[in-house]
Structure 1
Amino acid sequence: MNDAAAPLLPTLGDLAWEPALGRSDLLADPVAAALTAWSGVDERATTSIAVAEIDPDHADTATLNEVHGLPAAASANCVLVAGRRGQAERVAACVVPATTQADVNSLVRRMLDARKASFLPTDRATTESGMQYGGITPVGLPADWRVLVDARFAAPGSLALMGSGLRRSKLLMPGPLLCAMPGVEVVEGLGVDRV
């Protein structure tokens, strides 16, 4: 057996990372279901996705990074956007580095073929995703929602630290694995520098 070829569970900062599928109690139900289904077609979903329990009061990116010594470059924000043209509405999850913001009014609006795009209201986002505010993640979202991921996560060696569907834990996976998740669309320039 060649241990060097075996995928390694990612770790970051001082959090106690464990295999995500071994701790479904730290995952929202839709997230656990999606990871289970994904692991049936890609073993990396079992071996290369980690979860760690956190204090829910530290769930916000800046606080989490400061308390646990996490690099801002690894943090991924997932925002839900709705675009409308006439009566037709389209919803997308936009995953961008936490050091940027999603280009909602230009790029995302065009990708949704919408006249107007705006963030999904919190109550609707949590109800329809089955996830808690502050923990929404691209894993396990409704099948008819698009999942747009900034191309920077495709870079070899990149990591994606994001919500688990719950405020009391975080998921961590290699960025290229996030980009390979079923249904993901990798988008150049999705995240733009904050002004």
Structure 2
Amino acid sequence: MTLLTTWPESGPETVLRRTADPAEIAEALKPLGVRYEQWPVREDVPSDAGSEAVFAAYGPEIDRLNAEEGFTTVDVLGLHPGDDPEYPVKAKAAREKFLQEHTHDDDDEVRFFVSGSGIFYLHVNGEVHAVFCEKGDLLGVPRGTTHWFDMGTKPSFTAIRFFHEEDGWIGTFTGSAIAARFPDYDTVAAGYATDKAGA
């Protein structure tokens, strides 16, 4: 349900690791302090479900994670093409914001994908780890970890967000243009889809 690709920070010409095995992904991310796990997928939850339906479906998992990690705020963020005439503007603005390399000084970035997909790029110890997350995947990026997120040119996802701080998402941007040197969501997703079709 996910894919991990690791490159040296110098660029994507050399692939250091590429795996779609969940156990291997969790093991590779663990030394970075990154939490990766898979939750049961609730197929009866619509891809564009609102907060109430999502909380009802994933209540036990949310309660467990809150008990383990002490989160104080949990919300649901969704972005889907549809009848909203503002979608193109909203999608472009959201993508541009998260696509810039940044850190979070006061909180972890923890997301569970209810539907859709997105890629977290972790820039750690001279390497870039691209974690392609799909529905059922939970990823926890520790505070202080340099990273960026790409949802693609036509984002379509619903995610549960977990926060220790009530202020929610606050990013400290590095000003680096590193994200432009690596394959974006659309490129990675197209290659991943081809791989799955041939499997």
How would you bin the TM-score normalised by the shorter chain? under 0.3
Structure ranking higher on relative contact order (CA contacts 8 Å, 6+ apart): 2
So what's the TM-score if we normalise by structure 2?
0.27
So what's the TM-score if we normalise by structure 1?
0.28
